[in-house]
């Protein structure tokens, strides 16, 4: 089996893996790098331009896994695009949103090569997308010539419990198997139940390592953490301050909204409107509409009915009054420039009455990361457009992760029992932790830290 890591960076970056299993090429994920701009943000498709990519399989609809799908299809126009059925309902929305974001960045940040693809291109490629239920074996090498005694490789999606539609990918050849975790969560979230990766066995495992550099504090539980969040929100609202939870539109937004819906229905949080972003609304609607197809908790909870959700209009974040205790659950999770979370944050940071609570990963090199790192009362540069601001608002962080905790992933390695594990989707310190732990716990397993564009014969 031959694997090429196409991520242009050594950290989480843009996920994309080429795998050749018994002569059949498959591209797994086609992401974009959230911190790089223009063509720099793309996976290194140029390295595999001469490969025969029969199919492109998408693990889930976060940008770092699907954001460059139209570019990948320019290299491999004959490829089918395979994903879980739930991702199938999301993917076009995500890609059209990417076009809008890129256009805005071209106009406002002067990135001339944007947009890298157009709305028309998204519409043109959409007919080759195919959605599949979890745990159905798919013959992905459909155009390969059947030969005597030859079993075609197959692909199967496993529920990864990370965000709606998220999947781990099992590729089975005649002689060997590969499992790619995508982004995975081994504990129940508020809506989504944990991954169903039971009984996964494979010769080669490609694994995410997001939380390798993060130990859970002693006594940590998700329940106590959500309770801490609820009490913090209540405290800020009671003093007339507003609360901003910067979140990603797909997944985290719906998980936080579900918490609030439960709190309000149980009388633990006073009912009040919640302001969300336009894209957050779209994905919330899809979470509601596809509730019956989803392996989830509270299957009858419809967020749009349980909550009074108000979509923030373009530009409203810079104008609306913040007194009187408002609740905002809006993008972007890292408060990147030109987002509602950034614009609201800019107005809240200097006001000690307001609170900004983070509920997900924040890269240190983003406005959100810089806000978190700044000491209380200190001046710091929030972003190039906001300039230097003084941190006076309340800032806190709540660990409501949608990624597997590192010890759960380590246990999973033992279940899969591969001959080789390839460590991806993590910072260097995270991958190093896994390398050391796997080496001491499972000494027979070969561990690979892939380099950018490196070919792995595994
Ligand atoms: Zn993800
Ligand atoms: Zn990811």
Residue 266: its pLDDT value, please? 97
CA distance 121 to 96: 10
- Tell me the ligand closest to 425's alpha carbon: 2
Closest ligand to residue 87's CA:
1
The predicted structure's pLDDT at residue 148: 57
Q: HSE of 17 in the Cβ direction (CA atoms, 13 Å)?
A: 29
Residue among 16, 7, 140 at smallest CA distance from 73: 16
Q: Give yes or no for residue 337 having a pLDDT over 90.
A: no
pLDDT digits (tens, 9 = 90+) for 228-266: 999 999 999 999 999 999 999 999 999 999 999 999 999
**Residue 112 contacts by C-beta under 8 Å, 6 or more apart in sequence?**
106
Q: For residue range 292-311, list pLDDT tens digits in order.
A: 999 999 999 999 999 999 99
- 60 Cα to the center of ligand 1, angstroms: 7
350 C-beta neighbours (distance < 10 Å), count? 12
User: SS3 of 341, please?
Assistant: helix
Confidence of residue 360 (pLDDT cuts 50, 70, 90): confident
**What is the overall mean pLDDT for the chain?**
95
> Quick one: which ligand is closest to 60's CA?
1
Identify the CA nearest to 321 among candidates 282, 267, 275.
275
- Calculate the alpha carbon distances from 133 to 155, 159, 161, 207 in Å: 12, 9, 14, 22
Confidence label for 147 from pLDDT (cuts 50, 70 and 90): low
Ligand in nearest proximity to the CA of 14: 2
How far is ligand 1, taken at its centre, from the CA of residue 249, in Å?
A: 11
CA of 62 to the centre of ligand 1 (A): 5
Measure the N-to-C terminal CA separation of the chain; round to a whole number of Å: 6
Contact between 239 and 351 (Cβ < 8 Å):
no
Ion ligand 1 residues within 5 Å by Cβ: 62, 183
The packing angle between helices 278-289 and 91-109, to 10°, is: 180
C-alpha 320/C-alpha 116 separation (Å) is 34
Helix (H) / strand (E) containing 447? strand 446-448
DSSP string, 258-321: HHHHHHHHTTSS----EEE-HHHHHHHHHHHHTGGGS-BSSTT--HHHHS-EEEPPTTGGGTS-
- How much distance in Å is there from the Cα of 206 to the middle of ligand 2? 13
Distance CA 65, CA 60 (A): 6
- What lies within 8 Å, CB to CB, of 436 at 6+ separation is none
DSSP 130-173: EEE-TT--EE--TTSPP-TT-PPPEEEEEE-SSSTT-EEEEEE-
Distance 239 CA to ligand 2 centre (A): 37
What digits encode the pLDDT tens for the residues 385-395?
Answer: 999 999 999 99
Q: What is the distance in A from the centroid of ligand 2 to the CA of 388?
A: 31
Using CA of residue 63, residue 65, residue 71, residue 77, what is the dihedral sign? negative
Cα(184) to ligand 1 centroid in Å equals: 8
CA of 174 to the centre of ligand 1 (A): 30
In this prediction, residue 215 carries a pLDDT of 95
Q: What pLDDT does 196 receive?
A: 98
């Amino acid at each position: 089996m031959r694997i090429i890591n196409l991520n242009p960076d050594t950290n989480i970056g843009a996920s994309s893996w080429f795998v050749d299993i018994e002569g059949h090429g498959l591209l797994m994920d086609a992401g974009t790098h959230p911190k790089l701009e223009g063509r720099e943000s793309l996976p290194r498709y140029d390295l595999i331009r001469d490969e025969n990519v029969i199919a492109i399989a998408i693990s889930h609809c976060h940008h770092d896994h699907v954001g460059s799908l139209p570019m990948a299809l320019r290299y491999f126009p004959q490829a089918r695009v395979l994903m879980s059925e739930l991702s199938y309902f999301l993917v076009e929305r995500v890609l059209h949103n990417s076009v809008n974001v890129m256009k805005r960045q071209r106009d406002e940040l002067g990135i001339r090569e944007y947009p890298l693809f157009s709305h028309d291109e998204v519409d043109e490629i959409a007919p080759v997308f195919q959605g599949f239920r979890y745990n159905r074996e798919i013959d992905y090498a459909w155009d390969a010539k059947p030969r005597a005694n030859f079993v075609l490789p197959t692909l199967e999606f496993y529920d990864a419990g990370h965000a709606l539609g998220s999947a781990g990918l099992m590729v089975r050849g005649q002689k060997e198997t590969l499992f790619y975790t995508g982004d995975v969560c081994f504990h129940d979230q508020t809506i989504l139940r944990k991954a169903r990766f039971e009984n996964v066995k494979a010769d080669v495992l490609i694994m995410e390592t997001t939380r390798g550099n993060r130990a859970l504090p002693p006594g940590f539980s998700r329940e106590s953490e959500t309770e801490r969040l609820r009490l913090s929100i209540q405290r800020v609202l009671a003093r007339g301050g507003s609360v901003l939870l910067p979140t990603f539109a797909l997944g985290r937004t719906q998980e936080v909204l579900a918490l609030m819906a439960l709190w309000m229905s149980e009388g633990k949080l006073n009912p009040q409107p919640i302001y969300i972003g336009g894209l957050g609304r779209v994905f919330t609607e899809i979470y509601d509409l596809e509730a019956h197809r989803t392996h989830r908790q509270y299957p009858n909870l419809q967020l749009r009915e349980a909550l009074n959700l108000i979509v923030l209009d373009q530009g409203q974040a810079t104008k609306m009054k913040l007194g009187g205790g408002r609740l905002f659950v809006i993008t972007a999770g890292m408060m990147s420039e030109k987002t509602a979370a950034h614009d609201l944050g800019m107005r809240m940071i200097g006001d000690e009455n307001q609170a900004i609570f983070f509920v997900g990963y924040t890269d240190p090199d983003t406005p959100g990361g810089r806000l978190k790192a700044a000491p209380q009362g200190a001046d710091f540069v929030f972003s190039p457009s906001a300039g230097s601001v003084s941190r006076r608002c309340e800032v806190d962080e709540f660990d409501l992760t949608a990624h597997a905790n590192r010890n759960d992933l380590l246990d999973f390695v033992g279940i899969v029992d591969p001959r080789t594990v390839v460590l991806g989707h993590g910072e260097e310190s995270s991958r190093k932790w896994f390398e050391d732990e796997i080496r001491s716990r499972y000494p027979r397993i070969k561990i690979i830290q892939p380099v950018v564009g490196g070919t792995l014969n595994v």
